């Protein structure tokens, strides 16, 4: 007999909004199981295999018995390799003792916002922005304050607009460059002006290594009062490996480490050794993937514009295009669902990233040129059938 007893869950759980990119993907999987042909342009996952040196390093590590707990900050080999990477790539000195390695960046975001926010404290987030950011802030009792960015300004946060939102409860400004969902990349001058604000910065640099125009910068080049989130999922095609890191000011490390000991304990030992191989051996693999993403980016944008979908801000990084479909509908979730059901093309609705992206659709070009062309052709024929083109 089924248990019909209603369980009272905490209020904070009810405040977590669905991740629409995943819900679209899950519906697409259902259609695929029914025999439908689906093209996935909805999720931010590389379509390339993990480079062989990474796989081999993990295999050798497992065969060698590297399957136990590690130091709660992460293996020293990986933290030293990360410190060396930041010195070589950005010219900044980071101590291995300022780095926490974890099972992806998501648990580190939760850990970080829990450390920064007492109930009612504020974190400034850009709108549009990654869908999960406000949920992490709310879950720990914080209050997300949204900074509106416009397509006409390239969806870029301006320091003067951030200043207008500061209050006595402000604890951090979160920036993401290259950005999800827009592909925007902050330049040196913009980062410098943001670093001069009287508030700590949290910089999500998960898409570093995937910049196609201009120079890529870490916020650590401009301030030491910053927290950097980074990982291996995107540039190294390691989404399922779950390996991320947090770089933090020394004064915050002990509190962060203690929380990490309790919540995560440590990331997988053999996966950390695979991360060392990624940093030391896989620069050519990353360069090859970046070249192909760039080719897809330049190929896709004019095809989307030919569909009547305006690309206000040409993406310079990551692997997304945020395309304006407001002339068709201001209900991006409804439109994305309709396109999926009618064409078999899975897209992410703009509303997943905040009100500032309502009416937009996010296209991921982490898929082959052949599939991109087929997706555009399906959407074109559907738009024509509806009189939208």
* Domains, in order of start, for the chain: 11-49+284-386 (3.90.1150.10), 52-281 (3.40.640.10)
Is it the case that residue 2 has pLDDT exceeding 70? no
Per-residue model confidence (pLDDT) at position 153: 81
Per-residue model confidence (pLDDT) at position 31: 97
Of 254, 260, 239, 252, which Cα lies nearest the Cα of 102? 260
What are the pLDDT digits (tens) for 25-79?
Answer: 999 999 999 999 999 999 899 999 999 999 999 999 999 999 999 999 999 999 9
Rounded to the nearest angstrom, the gap between the alpha carbon of residue 132 and the centroid of all alpha carbons in its chain is 9
- The CA distance from 188 to 170, in Å, is 24
Per-residue model confidence (pLDDT) at position 9: 85
Give CA separation, 48 vs 103, 188, 288, in Å.
21, 30, 10
Q: What is the DSSP string of 201-259?
A: EEEE-TTTT-B-SS----GGGT-SSEEEEEESTTTTT-GGG--EEEE--HHHHHHHHHH
Is it the case that residue 1 has pLDDT exceeding 60? no
What are the pLDDT digits (tens) for 117-154?
Answer: 999 999 999 999 999 999 999 999 999 999 999 888 88
- Cβ neighbours of 255 (radius 10 Å): 13
Q: What residues pair up with 144 in beta bridges, in sequence order?
A: 123
Per-residue model confidence (pLDDT) at position 263: 94
Is it the case that residue 312 has pLDDT exceeding 60? yes
Is it the case that residue 223 has pLDDT exceeding 80? yes
Q: Quickly list H helices, the chain.
A: 11-14, 20-33, 52-63, 76-90, 105-116, 133-139, 159-163, 188-195, 250-263, 269-281, 283-306, 332-343, 369-386
Per-residue model confidence (pLDDT) at position 4: 63
Which residue's structure tokens are 């994305």?
336
Q: Output the average pLDDT for the chain.
A: 96
Per-residue model confidence (pLDDT) at position 3: 58
Give CA separation, 33 vs 235, 274, 339, 371, in Å.
30, 34, 18, 19
- Average pLDDT (105-121) is 96
Is it the case that residue 83 has pLDDT exceeding 80? yes
Is residue 291 exposed (0-12), middle (13-18) or buried (19+ Cβ within 10 Å)? exposed
- The CA distance from 30 to 21, in Å, is 15
Q: What residues pair up with 123 in beta bridges, in sequence order?
A: 144, 172
- Average pLDDT (341-362) is 97
What are the pLDDT digits (tens) for 264-309?
Answer: 999 999 999 999 999 999 999 999 999 999 999 999 999 999 999 9
| CB 137 within 8 Å of CB 113 | yes
């Amino acid at each position: 007999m089924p248990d019909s007893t209603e369980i009272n869950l905490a209020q904070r759980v009810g405040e977590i909004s669905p991740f629409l990119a995943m819900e679209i993907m899950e519906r697409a999987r259902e259609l695929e199981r029914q025999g439908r042909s689906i093209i996935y342009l909805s999720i931010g996952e590389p379509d390339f295999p993990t480079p062989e040196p990474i796989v081999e390093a993990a295999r050798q590590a497992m065969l060698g018995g590297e399957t136990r707990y590690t130091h709660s900050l992460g293996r020293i080999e990986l933290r030293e390799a990360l410190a060396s990477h930041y010195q070589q790539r950005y010219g900044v000195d980071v101590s291995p003792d300022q780095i926490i390695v974890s099972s992806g960046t998501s648990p580190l975001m939760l850990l970080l916002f829990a450390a920064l926010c007492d109930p009612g404290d504020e974190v400034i987030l850009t709108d549009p922005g990654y869908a999960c950011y406000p949920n992490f802030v709310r879950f720990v009792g914080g209050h997300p304050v949204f900074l509106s960015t416009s397509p006409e300004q390239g969806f870029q946060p301006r320091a003067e607009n951030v200043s207008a939102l500061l209050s006595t409860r402000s604890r951090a400004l979160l920036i993401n460059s290259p950005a999800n969902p827009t592909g925007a990349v902050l330049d040196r001058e913009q980062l410098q002006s943001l670093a001069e604000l009287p508030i700590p910065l949290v910089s999500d640099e998960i898409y570093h290594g995937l910049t196609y125009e201009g120079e890529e910068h870490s916020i650590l080049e401009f301030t030491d009062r910053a927290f950097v989130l980074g990982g291996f999922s995107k540039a190294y095609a390691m989404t399922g490996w779950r390996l991320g890191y947090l770089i933090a000011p020394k004064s915050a490390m002990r509190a962060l480490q203690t929380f990490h000991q309790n919540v995560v304990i440590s990331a997988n030992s053999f996966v950390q050794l695979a991360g060392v191989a990624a940093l030391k051996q896989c620069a050519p693999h990353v360069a090859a993937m970046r070249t192909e993403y760039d080719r897809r980016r330049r190929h896709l944008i004019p095809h989307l514009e030919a569909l009547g979908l305006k690309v206000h801000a040409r993406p310079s990084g990551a692997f997304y295009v945020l395309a304006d479909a407001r002339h068709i509908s201001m209900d991006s979730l409804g439109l994305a669902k309709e396109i999926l059901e009618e064409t078999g093309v899975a897209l992410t609705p703009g509303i997943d990233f905040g009100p500032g992206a309502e009416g937009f659709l996010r296209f991921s070009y982490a898929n082959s040129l052949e599939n991109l062309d087929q997706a555009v052709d399906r959407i074109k024929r559907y738009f024509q059938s509806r009189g939208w083109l």
